[in-house]
């Protein structure tokens, strides 16, 4: 910690010295003649309500926003740095009002070294990989869970990463610099993309990019850059630098208790950023009567995987002088709670990949609070939107429900975790309790294990409600399987691991009724069939599931269990192994596995495997950023079932009657219509952020292919009925997904094409 602070002090001192030498941004800009900006507009297509033109040495953009407003953005170059000469807004028919003049983009990157974790090593050993060769490390290091590259030399869980201790020189910090006098303007549907080359930020080099969207006040500012170094893990902060302080200037936000807070720039100059823990990840710079600018990150893929959704402060402001300030988005360099320090893995930057580092701004003629409300609309107020005929399911929450209630001595004890989950609009909560001789249960006796299970079941009954249900599921690390799986039940079931020779599979007990003894693949699958339960594999090819489910294919008994319809799904979430070059969630880890599995078993009878949205969070509390950290599943259900009879839920999951979503993209009424080769993909899609594309993905039993349908001409907050012709010749399965400009997504389950008419 002292070493890292020392490095930070040096960086701050050097930065201050440079700042003192250059003076405030506004003064420097006045002292340095503007370069002649040369822009290539050959890719620009004139369109009503979305225009671009050169006016002298400036590039001027004008577009129609929302709420009857218009926006104007004018770029120049000063000393090689792309500069927002003016950002202005007006209500149609009114005069233009400048929200910002002579401001520049600010990007900062902190990078460390990526390491594999020991859970991955153990998973590989179970699958016969005993030597960590460079090739093995190169393949698996990017899916590390127990890694914290900025925590030098390590933490309380030193054994969870390979190759510790970390060294101070592994951690580097850099602020973006710019050297250009060129830009390129391209039309892409109902948006304009402006690109400036010549960006350097530490080990990354690339370009600065702005995107504006017709029909929206949204502006995306991003660095797109790559590195040729290996094993790079990184984080970034971003914002605008050099906004003027005038009458009525303030930054405003809501704190984690949803109380309004503000800073009026009455204090002295700041040496560094002031982190703020904001509700909903939004900070607003109010510009007096002219209006406001909100800054916020992408709502979901800004976050890497953690075991807690504690708000670490995702916004910042800084008073640079008595006349100027800066503000934007940020990441913390360390987890906020000691027990979770070893799990703070940052983003991956595979060599040569283009890493997207965006920040969003929303410019408005309104004051701070209505501007904030307009931004909240993009995430439905951080609440999963209710859909008729569907219920929202969140799964794999490590809340230790049974153990906590047992320790409290009553199943009626308060479980605070449930409050933020309910507040987010989740109807069904699947727990990830640990049970048996593995999976974190310690050395508990069989009776203690059963007692925890009893309190889990009874607690689920008592804390469920008319439109809210706790599904008392288990995370099980089974010796018969390897790796670990989740068990989702249709009703209460009691069981223990370990079945002695001659011991029956199931016995009747006076306290628990039927009690299963599980000692093999067949034992577990028999219990699942008898009790109508299913399996899902959380985080495949990561953690202790490294090498799985691929390893199941090598043994007949595990292959048979894996192919069983009761082995229903893979856990799906962003964050674990996130690489900001990905256009889709888990594009390197889960989606390839999903499609490979669909191809491998395309000709087998029975339904295909599915993707089930999961969390990985432990205890959660009000004020935590629950909405951002986990996708959810919209399950086709008429009503929320009860813990004593979740049969409708289990049936819907087995039938694939659900879609996975971040919350911003909703896909309903999906079906594959027609017979033979002439099929049609039909779906109703709804979105908030401007939609990038809808894709049809299919496989022929050997390889996967896709058709991408660009949707960039469609406005934000849209909906569309898609009917897409599909030639099914030689194809075995098909699925649909949609992705937006902020990296949010929604995808339906795959449909097999080798049978009668396929509809869902």
DSSP structure class, residue 117:
B
In Å, how far from its chain's centre is CA 26? 37
- Measured between alpha carbons, how far is residue 489 from residues 222, 402, 498, 505, 740 in Å? 45, 16, 20, 18, 34
DSSP structure class, residue 297:
-
**Beta strand pairing call for 182-188 and 191-201:** antiparallel
C-alpha 208/C-alpha 228 separation (Å) is: 19
3-state secondary structure of 15: helix
Q: How confident is the model at residue 157 (pLDDT cuts 50, 70, 90)?
A: low
pLDDT at residue number 435: 65
pLDDT at residue number 175: 98
pLDDT at residue number 15: 37
pLDDT at residue number 445: 86
In this structure, how many other beta carbons lie within 10 angstroms of the beta carbon of residue 230? Answer: 14
pLDDT at residue number 755: 56
Query: Contact at 8 Å (CB) between 494 and 512?
Result: yes
Question: What is the 3-state secondary structure of 418-468?
Answer: HHHHHHCCCCEEEECEECCCCCCCCCCCHHHHHHHHHHHHHHHHHHCECCE
Whether 5 shows a pLDDT value over 60: the answer reads no
Whether 11 shows a pLDDT value over 80: the answer reads no
Whether 721 shows a pLDDT value over 70: the answer reads yes
In Å, how far from its chain's centre is CA 644? 33
pLDDT at residue number 21: 33
3-state secondary structure of 748: strand
Query: Contact at 8 Å (CB) between 148 and 343?
Result: yes
Residue given tokens 């893929």 in the structure block: 301
pLDDT at residue number 507: 96
- Measured between alpha carbons, how far is residue 160 from residues 112, 117, 148, 248, 544 in Å? 17, 5, 10, 51, 12
**Beta strand pairing call for 506-509 and 513-518:** antiparallel
- Measured between alpha carbons, how far is residue 109 from residues 144, 275, 632 in Å? 20, 16, 30
Averaged pLDDT, 523-533: 96
Angle at which helices 521-531 and 556-563 cross, to 10°: 20
C-alpha 711/C-alpha 695 separation (Å) is: 10
pLDDT at residue number 19: 33
In this structure, how many other beta carbons lie within 10 angstroms of the beta carbon of residue 321? Answer: 17
Whether 29 shows a pLDDT value over 50: the answer reads no
pLDDT at residue number 754: 79
Report the chain's mean pLDDT, rounded to a whole number.
Answer: 92
- Measured between alpha carbons, how far is residue 237 from residues 234, 302, 329 in Å? 11, 11, 6
pLDDT tens across 13-28, in order?
Answer: 333 333 333 333 333 3
Q: How confident is the model at residue 436 (pLDDT cuts 50, 70, 90)?
A: low
Range 636-640, long-range pairs (CB < 8 A, 24+ positions): 636/389, 636/390, 637/389, 637/390, 637/391, 638/389, 639/391, 640/391, 640/427, 640/428, 640/466, 640/467, 640/468, 640/469
Query: Contact at 8 Å (CB) between 434 and 443?
Result: no
pLDDT tens across 551-610, in order?
Answer: 998 888 889 999 999 999 999 998 889 999 999 999 999 999 999 999 999 999 889 999
pLDDT at residue number 156: 65
Whether 398 shows a pLDDT value over 60: the answer reads yes
SS3 content of the chain, % helix, strand, coil (to 5): 20, 40, 40
- For residue 485, give every residue at least 6 positions away whose Cβ sits within 8 Å of its Cβ, in sequence order, or none: 475, 476, 478, 535, 536, 537, 538, 567
C-alpha 203/C-alpha 435 separation (Å) is: 45
Averaged pLDDT, 514-527: 92
Query: Contact at 8 Å (CB) between 557 and 521?
Result: yes
Residue given tokens 């990354």 in the structure block: 204
3-state secondary structure of 692: strand
Q: How confident is the model at residue 480 (pLDDT cuts 50, 70, 90)?
A: low
Angle at which helices 446-463 and 401-408 cross, to 10°: 90
Query: Contact at 8 Å (CB) between 242 and 103?
Result: yes
DSSP structure class, residue 288:
G
User: Of 652, 664, 669, 680, nearest to 738 (Cα)?
Assistant: 664
pLDDT tens across 37-71, in order?
Answer: 999 999 999 999 999 999 989 999 999 999 999 99
Percent of the chain scoring above 90 in pLDDT: 85
pLDDT at residue number 520: 87
Does residue 92 have a cis bond before it (omega within 30 degrees)?
no
Does residue 646 have a cis bond before it (omega within 30 degrees)?
no
- Measured between alpha carbons, how far is residue 516 from residues 107, 442, 505, 520, 721 in Å? 57, 20, 6, 12, 49
Residue-range domains of the chain with CATH: 2-111+173-379 (2.70.98), 392-489+521-661 (3.20.20.140), 664-760 (2.60.40.1930)
- Measured between alpha carbons, how far is residue 442 from residues 233, 413, 439, 476, 682 in Å? 33, 24, 8, 13, 50
Averaged pLDDT, 108-136: 94
pLDDT tens across 612-635, in order?
Answer: 999 999 988 999 999 999 999 999
pLDDT at residue number 498: 84
User: Of 81, 112, 114, 231, nearest to 174 (Cα)?
Assistant: 112
What burial class does residue 497 get, using C-beta atoms within 10 Å of its C-beta: 0-12 exposed, 13-18 middle, 19+ buried?
buried
C-alpha 736/C-alpha 237 separation (Å) is: 33
C-alpha 273/C-alpha 253 separation (Å) is: 16
Query: Contact at 8 Å (CB) between 692 and 742?
Result: no
Q: Which has the minimum average pLDDT: 77-86, 336-345, 524-533, 692-701?
A: 336-345
C-alpha 614/C-alpha 454 separation (Å) is: 24
- Measured between alpha carbons, how far is residue 43 from residues 125, 188, 193, 553 in Å? 53, 9, 10, 50
Whether 438 shows a pLDDT value over 70: the answer reads no
pLDDT at residue number 483: 86
């Amino acid at each position: 910690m002292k070493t890292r602070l020392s490095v930070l002090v040096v960086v701050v001192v050097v930065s201050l010295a440079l700042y003192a030498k250059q003076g405030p941004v506004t003064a420097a800009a006045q002292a340095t003649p503007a370069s002649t900006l040369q822009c290539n507009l050959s890719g620009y297509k004139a369109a009503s309500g979305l225009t671009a033109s050169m006016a002298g040495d400036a590039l001027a953009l004008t577009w129609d926003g929302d709420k009857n407003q218009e926006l104007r953005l004018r770029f120049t170059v000063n000393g090689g740095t792309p500069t927002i000469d003016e950002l202005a807004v007006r209500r149609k028919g009114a005069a233009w009002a400048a929200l910002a003049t002579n401001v520049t983009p600010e990007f900062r990157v902190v990078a460390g070294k990526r390491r594999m974790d020991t859970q991955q090593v153990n998973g590989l050993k179970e699958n016969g990989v005993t030597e960590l060769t460079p090739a093995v490390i190169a393949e698996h290091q990017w899916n590390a869970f127990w890694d914290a590259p900025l925590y030098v030399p390590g933490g309380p869980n030193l054994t969870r990463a390979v190759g510790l201790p970390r060294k101070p020189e592994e951690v580097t910090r850099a602020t973006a610099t710019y050297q250009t006098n060129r830009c390129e303007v391209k039309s892409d549907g109902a948006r304009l993309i402006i690109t400036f080359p010549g960006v350097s930020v530490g080990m990354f080099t690339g370009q600065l990019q702005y995107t504006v969207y017709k029909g929206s006040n949204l502006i995306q500012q991003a660095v797109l850059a790559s590195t040729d170094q290996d094993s790079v893990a990184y984080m970034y902060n971003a914002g605008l630098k050099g906004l003027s302080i005038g009458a009525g200037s303030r930054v405003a936000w809501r704190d984690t208790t949803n109380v309004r807070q503000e800073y009026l720039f009455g204090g002295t100059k700041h040496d560094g950023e002031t982190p703020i823990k904001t509700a909903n990840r939004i900070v607003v710079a109010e510009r007096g009567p002219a209006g406001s600018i909100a800054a916020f990150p992408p709502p979901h893929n800004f976050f890497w995987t953690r075991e807690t959704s504690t708000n670490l402060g995702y916004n910042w402001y800084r008073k640079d002088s008595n006349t100027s300030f800066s503000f934007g988005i940020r990441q913390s360099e360390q987890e906020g709670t000691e027990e979770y320090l070893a799990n703070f893995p940052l983003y991956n930057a595979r060599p040569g990949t283009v890493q997207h580092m965006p920040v969003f701004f929303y410019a408005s003629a309104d004051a701070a609070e209505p501007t904030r409300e307009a931004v909240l609309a993009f995430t439905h107020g951080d609440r999963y939107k209710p859909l008729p005929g569907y219920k929202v399911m969140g799964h794999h929450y490590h809340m230790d429900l049974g153990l906590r209630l047992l320790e409290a001595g009553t199943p009626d004890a308060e479980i605070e975790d449930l409050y933020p989950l309910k507040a987010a609009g989740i109807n069904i909560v699947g727990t990830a309790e640990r049970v048996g001789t593995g999976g974190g249960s310690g050395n508990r006796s069989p009776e203690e294990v059963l007692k925890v299970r009893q309190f889990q079941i009874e607690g689920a009954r008592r804390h469920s409600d008319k439109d809210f249900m706790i599904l008392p599921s288990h995370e099980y690390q089974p010796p018969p399987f390897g790796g670990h799986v989740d068990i989702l039940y249709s009703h209460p079931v009691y069981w223990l691991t370990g079945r002695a020779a001659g011991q029956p599979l199931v016995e009747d007990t006076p306290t628990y009724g039927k009690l299963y003894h599980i000692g093999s693949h067949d034992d577990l699958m028999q219990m699942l069939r008898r009790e109508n339960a299913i399996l899902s594999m959380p985080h495949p090819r990561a953690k202790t599931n490294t090498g799985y489910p691929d390893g199941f294919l090598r043994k007949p008994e595990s292959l048979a269990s894996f192919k069983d319809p009761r082995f229903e799904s893979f856990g799906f979430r962003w964050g674990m192994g996130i690489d900001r070059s990905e256009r889709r969630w888990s594009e390197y880890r889960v989606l390839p596995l999903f499609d490979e599995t669909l191809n491998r078993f395309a000709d087998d009878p029975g339904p295909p495997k599915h993707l089930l949205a999961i969390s990985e969070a432990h205890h959660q509390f009000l004020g935590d950023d629950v909405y951002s950290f986990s996708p959810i599943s919209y399950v086709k259900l008429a009503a929320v079932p009860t813990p004593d009879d979740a049969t409708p839920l289990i049936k819907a999951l087995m039938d694939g009657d659900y879609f996975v979503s971040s919350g911003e993209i909703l896909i309903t009424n999906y079906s594959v219509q027609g017979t033979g080769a002439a099929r049609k993909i039909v779906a109703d899609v709804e979105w908030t952020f401007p939609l990038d594309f809808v894709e049809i993905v299919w496989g022929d039993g050997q390889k996967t292919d896709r058709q991408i349908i660009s949707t960039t001409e469609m406005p934000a907050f849209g909906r569309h009925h898609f009917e897409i012709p599909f030639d099914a010749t030689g194809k075995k399965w098909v699925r649909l997904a949609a992705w937006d400009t902020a990296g949010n997504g929604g995808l339906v389950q795959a449909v097999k094409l080798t049978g009668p008419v396929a509809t869902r």
